[in-house]
Each structure stands twice: as C-alpha cells, then as structure tokens.
Structure 1
C-alpha cells in the first residue's frame, strides 16, 4: 500500500546545520549519512513538511554528568541549565533563521518556507517539501517583545515560550522520570504578554515544554487552539515531559492538537532512552491520545535530529514502516490521512486562518 505524505510537528535539523555550517550543502542536499533528516531522505520517506525549530542550546559545563547514561537508567531528574539572555540568544537565532532561508534557496524549488495554511496545502499538492519557522524557547525575544514582531515579519508562525529551562516568560518541565509536569511556577507577566501578542499575530503557541502551571496560564489566556507539537501521554509513560489526561482534555476542548513525539524516553513505559523497542509502546500512546483527544486532534511530532528514536523508525525513511504498523494495528485510511497530515493542516487553519 502506498505510503501517505507526513507533515511533522517538530524537528531540530537547523541545529545540525548550525553546528556544521561548512558542511551544510552536503548535509541538506546530499545527506552525509548521519542524523535523521536531509532532502533526499525526506523525499524517500514521504516527509511532506514540518516545523523547523530555532533552538538555543545551553553551554555544557566541563563537570556535567553523563546525561545519556542517566536517561537510560531511571529514575532520573536532570538538572536544568540556567536562563539564557536574549543578547546571547539572538545572534544564534538569526543564524539559524538564515540557514532555513538558505535551505529554500539551495533546494531550487524542492523546499518552501510557508506562512499560511494555503501555502502548506499548495506545497503538498505540488510535491514540494514545506517548512514552518518555529521557535523552541523564546530566549531570542526580550520582555519588550519587539523581536517577536521582527521574527513574525521574517516568517515565524509557531513559538514555544520555553524549552524546559526557564526564560523571562515562564518555566519548563525538567527531563525527569517518573515525574508529573507540576514542577514550578507558571508564566511571568512578560510571558502572559507574549501569549497575548502571539494571539494578536496568530502565531501558534506550542505547549510541549511548559510545566503544568504554565500550561494552565496559556489555557486561560489564549483564544487559539491549544497545541503541543511533540508530546506524549503521561498515563502511558510517566515522564514530566508528557501530558496528563487533564491536559489532554483541555486541548480537546479548544479544538487543539498533539503531535506524537518519537523520543524513546517519552514512549517507553520504563522511561529508558534505549532505541531497542517494538511498535507496541508507540501504538499505546497513539491509542491513548486518540481516546482522549479524538481522531481530529492527533498527529506526528517526531523530534527528528533532536532525540533518540525507536530502531524501527531509525530516521525519516522509517515513516512508511511506522504507517504500516499503524495499519496493521487497525487504523483505517481516513484516520491515517488525518494522523499523517490532515489534522496538522486543519489546526493551523483554525489558528492562522487561511
């Protein structure tokens, strides 16, 4: 059976380009045999488009623990890095945005940055890979929000106020297992202003790394659908990063959306990072999300190039294998189309307009 095109809720491909600027042509256009994404493998795997994250990584202290080992030996709670100021973050964010625009030029019509749902659907129809500029953690924006308007003019259409570590806007969840998401205070006053401004500009707000109080603050303030681009079900895997049934209900009530995260530590019931796993945990999360959200509000949010993914997926070329596992599990073709791309397009139409 023919694989369906997949629109994806989250990837960290821009971070690979940032770390290897001299190799970006090889990485993007040819593929260097590493990572999860490149243009040839996107086409082979049926990757129709997705959210490309601008993300500011934290400096790693010389005495940092072995995070990989800790995450493969639960229980764990990784220490969160310190807040990063916008003066430090902004040059990095601009460099990553520059890489995204370069990708569009270098692909010569095979990749397009999209700013509307109409453009996304046009790319799908034409077989052009589409990209949405997303910001994972709002460190490049100061509390005065001036930069938000600048990035919106550049094409920013999706923003997460935090990536786990604190920002001037709010607090995220640590990487912890077992743990719930109620891990600290919610949005700051600047954070509340940020949500109102995103609503005004019709920038989608991503809840994926926010803690529970921050999630609730957004739910009270926002007039847009609640969306978590790359999160899973806490009832299946009790990680701080996963969403409780109460949070899923709040998302459902707003006509929102959750993208299934492929990160093994958020999929495996034991919380381990190891990629050796079958399809059963993936399908348990999908079943739970569907039961709590309904079939119009679940999609995929891979976290490609930002996480360890199950060995059955491996990289973007494993998307057809995932689809086959979903079909074998009993998902019909109408539901498959919704999960693979239609639900993302629909929630963006509800958020952005046409």
Structure 2
C-alpha cells in the first residue's frame, strides 16, 4: 500500500500533505533517540555541548532544533584500551554528563524512569537517559552493575566488539557457524536475571547470534537491540537476520534503526575509498573509514554517503518482519562518521519524519517508530 501511495503521489494522482505539514507532525511527536555517543566524542574532549558546535553531530541547541525529547547518552569504552578501570571510566562519563546537565538545567534533566520522562517533557525540557555500551564496564561484577543502575543507566549493551568472560560479541563470533559460537556463561545468565530484577533493559546490539538466543532463553522481559539494522538488506554482522527478527518479535522487544551508512548500504565503503583516492590521494589500507571520510569536503561526503531512502528501506523491512510496534531509532550519532544524506546531525531529524510521511506512514505509526516503542519496552522492563 505504501508503494502504491508513493506511485500515485509521483504522478500527481494524489497530492500529499507531507510536503506542507511534516514539521508540524514532527513537533507533535515524542522523539526518543536510543543511542548517541556524544559523551565520548565531544563532552570528554572538553567541547561545550550547551553551545552549538561546528564539530560532531550533537549539541543541545541542535537536539532542540531536531525536536528530540528523550536522548539516550551512551557510556562507552574500548575494551582493549580499558582492560583495567573500565568501571571507573564509566562513572567518569556519567560525571561528565551530569556536569552538562547541571550547567543547562533549563534545557535538559536526567530521567531514571518513564514517569520522570513524562514530567520532564511536560516542562518542555529534554529528558536525558543513560545507556552503558559494553559489559566490560561492569568488570564482571553484579554490584558494579547495580551501582551504574543507581546512577541512572537504564540499559546495558552486553558487549562491544570483543568477547567478555561472560558474553560474546558478533565481531568475534559471527564468522563461525552458530553451533561453534559461545554465548552467555553461567555468570552471564545471572547478570541478565539481575538486570530483569532491576528493571534495566538488556541490549544485544553488538552481541553474537549465540548470545542473542541465549539471552532470549533467560530474560523475562522484552529486550532491546538499540542500534542495528536488517541483515537481509545489508549483510553485516551488526545487523539482525530474519530468524533473529522473528525471535525478537516473539519476545516483544524493539530494534532501534542505526543511521550508519555502512550498516545501511553495502556500497558505502567502496564509494568512500574511490572518493578518497580521487580527491585526496593514495589510500593506506589501514586507514579507518572515519579518517577517510574526514578528509573529504562536505560536498564529497554528501556524495559518498547513502541516501535517506536507504534508512527508510530498512525501516520498511523491519516493520514488515516484526511489526510497527517493534521498530525504533538508535541513531548512533557521534559514534559514526557518516549518516544518511539529509540526516547529517540531530537537527535534521524532521527530515526522517518527512521521509516516513512520504513513504505512506500515518502519524500514529511514525509516533511509535520515533519514540513510543522505546518507551513501551522501557516501561515493561520497569514493571515487576
């Protein structure tokens, strides 16, 4: 039906309303972005996100401009860099976020539950949530997990890109057959059970397939996949295949669509390499995509990244597979170098609402994708 709607609009048979009213629709939404790395990439580097920045994807003025009502701030560490003191590093990041909030009390407030979010939004302020990205930061300790929860962490992404003693990562394991993978250890299962008791969402983005299925056997609550996409469209280990999506739907969980061009479009990295060679010079094979992208001009960056339609294609596919009640957004802004065209930073989020309206989604459907689905599983995890 949505494809038919787009076809009819294209030929002028239907005059769409989205072109005139998408900004008004967006203003009515409660926008919840389930994953943003601005703490590690800007705040800890001394950048004042209370002011509009030239660097990065995120600051408070652009969050307001983008209509973001609830922002999840990721607390992250590289497992290899933080083999020791990862828990201390996590607390340092929360300290840094709390300092930003203290400096901007009229614009942003820390939320610890859905009731807080409701009250904060009534006051017209941004509700800040905390998500811990990487189980290495609890240092295999349930008391550390509990302390992070007390400080406001409302989800734990079980792994990043390395295996832990109690949980395994897709980056390490998913090149192996499922039967050869390791998932949750006995301790890992105890951690999941304690998260359920606390009301802390279990996030399996970055987790191995075996970890994903092991979690589903243990958890009594709906799970979160905070920033991943559809592997059927882009076969990357960070995306979920159809069997995982089917299991996610049965669990009642939610997948937050990741904005990273490389997870949306298989051709992104090759276009980036070609552009680098054409406009900059010979490419060191060890150079990261982030460094390649940064060397290009804004116009060249726009040319190599994926169109916004690719993101909507992933949303369409996920809605088809898991249903409208199980898809959210987890942008990964400031954790990625390249977002889709016309979604270059958080201020551009109204363009996603515009694209969804153009694709034929109704306002109530967009409201679920843009925020209500995330809040639904957060509330279900809060309940005992």
TM over 0.5: yes
Whole-Å Cα distance in 2 between the matches of residues 108 and 202 of structure 1? 27
The answer on 1:282 being equivalent to 2:282 is no
Question: Please, which of 66, 70, 75 is the counterpart of residue 45 of structure 1?
Answer: 66
Taking a change above 3 Å as real, the CA distance of residues 96 and 282 of structure 1, as seen in their structure-2 partners, is same
Q: TM-score if structure 2 supplies the norm length? A: 0.80
The answer on 1:156 being equivalent to 2:153 is yes
The answer on 1:257 being equivalent to 2:254 is yes
Tell me which residue corresponds to 1:299.
328
Q: CA RMSD in A?
A: 2.2
Question: How far 1:254 moved relative to its partner?
Answer: 1.7
Whole-Å Cα distance in 2 between the matches of residues 338 and 188 of structure 1? 35
Tell me which residue corresponds to 1:75.
none
Mean Cα displacement is larger for which, 145-154 or 215-224? 145-154
Question: Please, which of 209, 213, 217 is the counterpart of residue 220 of structure 1?
Answer: 217
Whole-Å Cα distance in 2 between the matches of residues 101 and 288 of structure 1? 38
Maintained 8 Å contact 1:17/1:99: no
Whole-Å Cα distance in 2 between the matches of residues 349 and 215 of structure 1? 21
Question: Please, which of 110, 114, 117 is the counterpart of residue 114 of structure 2?
Answer: 117
Whole-Å Cα distance in 1 between the matches of residues 127 and 356 of structure 2? 24
Tell me which residue corresponds to 1:132.
129
Deviations 1:131-152 (A, max 9, x none): 1111100112133422111111
Which segments of 5 or more consecutive residues in structure 2 lack a partner in the other structure? 1-20, 273-303
Deviations 1:20-51 (A, max 9, x none): 13x3xx3x111221111100000011111122
Tell me which residue corresponds to 1:9.
34
Q: Secondary structure at the match of 1:8?
A: strand
Larger radius of gyration: 2
Deviations 1:292-331 (A, max 9, x none): 1111111111001001211220001110111111111111
Tell me which residue corresponds to 1:203.
200
Question: How far 1:124 moved relative to its partner?
Answer: 2.6
Question: Please, which of 334, 355, 359 is the counterpart of residue 325 of structure 1?
Answer: 355
Deviations 1:68-103 (A, max 9, x none): xxxxxxxxxxxxxxxx53x33122111101011112
Maintained 8 Å contact 1:237/1:271: no
Identify, as 1 or 2, the structure richer in helix.
Answer: 2
Question: Please, which of 232, 239, 242 is the counterpart of residue 236 of structure 2?
Answer: 239
Deviations 1:158-200 (A, max 9, x none): 1011012112221111199x96995831112221111111111
Whole-Å Cα distance in 1 between the matches of residues 370 and 121 of structure 2? 12
Question: Please, which of 36, 46, 50 is the counterpart of residue 29 of structure 1?
Answer: 50
Maintained 8 Å contact 2:43/2:97: no
Q: Secondary structure at the match of 2:137?
A: coil
How many residue pairs get aligned? The number is: 325
Whole-Å Cα distance in 1 between the matches of residues 181 and 309 of structure 2? 33
Question: How far 1:280 moved relative to its partner?
Answer: 2.6
Whole-Å Cα distance in 1 between the matches of residues 62 and 43 of structure 2? 20
Mean Cα displacement is larger for which, 286-295 or 101-110? 101-110
Tell me which residue corresponds to 2:366.
336
Q: Secondary structure at the match of 2:311?
A: helix
Q: TM-score if structure 1 supplies the norm length? A: 0.86
